[in-house]
Amino acid sequence: MIEQKFYVRYDELDANAHIPATTFLKYFQQAAAQDSAQLGFGWKDLIKDNQAWILTHMQARALQADIPLQDVTVKTWHVFSDRLLSRRQFVVYGQDKTPLFEGSSWWAIMDVQKRRLARTPQRLLDAHTTLPEGLEAEENFKAPLPADAPAYTREILTREEDLDLNGHVNNTHYAAWAIQSVPPEARQGKKLDRILLSFKNECRTGEKITVGVYPCEPNAFWLTLTRASDGKEAARVYTRWI
């Protein structure tokens, strides 16, 4: 478990001087990397064996709307691993220790040369042999789309600065592209009550991404992020705003 403090920068705020969800996701990613390193499974540890962590899916929610500029603290910990996946919890606190953002994520170890998943190390399997009681249930990440075609689409072109240490687009950019594709009137003045992110295929620089927007229940949307090069989904995202 780790608790890491972050000093929010002005370039990480939105146009209303609020901290957006994607900033919290970036901080969570950084804290998760630090906690993994403390456990002996950090990037420097794994890359020696041509391995790296990849995020497979995540569920999260904002606990307040329009979160103003302030220093924040991220608490994150490993809760369980099976043969291929490891689950991690996180919560972000504000200056007065008020929870601002929380969620769960699932990670796998990938062989970066063979481009396939590797088995979870036994030491992680032994750390937690059962799921803790009271843990938030895993959402349905495989729910069908609500329509055969999106209500509308938008195009994204990936850049070199979007890439991570593994050489493909960082997961936080998919979240940002999906959120900004939700109609402004659906999210203005509301909190992100739920976001589900499922990562399917990697993207590299110079890739054209088509974001398809599928409205479902009121103020909720499924979004597909599809590679133009081969028509495969890079990620699928669900957002609900209240």
What does the block give as tokens for 198? 């499922």
Residue closest to 23 by CA, chosen among 68, 79, 57, 86: 68
H runs (alpha helix) in the chain: 21-38, 43-47, 122-127, 171-181, 184-187
What does the block give as tokens for 234? 């890079």
What does the block give as tokens for 143? 């729910």
Average pLDDT over residues 143-159: 97
- Domains of the chain, first to last: 1-138 (3.10.129.10), 139-242 (3.10.129.10)
- Give whole-number Cα distances, 39 to 147, 150, 166, 239, in Å: 44, 43, 20, 32
Position with higher pLDDT, 115 vs 72? 72
Q: What is the pLDDT of residues 192-220, one digit of tens each?
A: 999 999 999 999 999 999 999 999 989 99
Whole-angstrom distance, CA of residue 223 vs CA of residue 148: 13
Q: What is the pLDDT of residues 25-74, one digit of tens each?
A: 999 999 999 999 999 999 999 999 999 999 999 999 999 989 999 999 99
Whole-angstrom distance, CA of residue 130 vs CA of residue 114: 30
Percentage of the chain surpassing pLDDT 70?
100
Amino acid occupying residue 234:
A
CB 199 within 8 A of CB 171: yes
Residue 131 has pLDDT above 90, yes or no: no
Which pLDDT value is given to residue 210?
98
What DSSP character marks residue 129? S
The label of the residue with tokens 């043969």 reads 83
- Threshold 0.85, pTM exceeds: yes
Rg (CA), the chain: 18
Q: What is the pLDDT of residues 165-198, one digit of tens each?
A: 888 899 999 999 999 999 999 998 899 999 999 9
Which pLDDT value is given to residue 188?
86
Whole-angstrom distance, CA of residue 227 vs CA of residue 236: 12
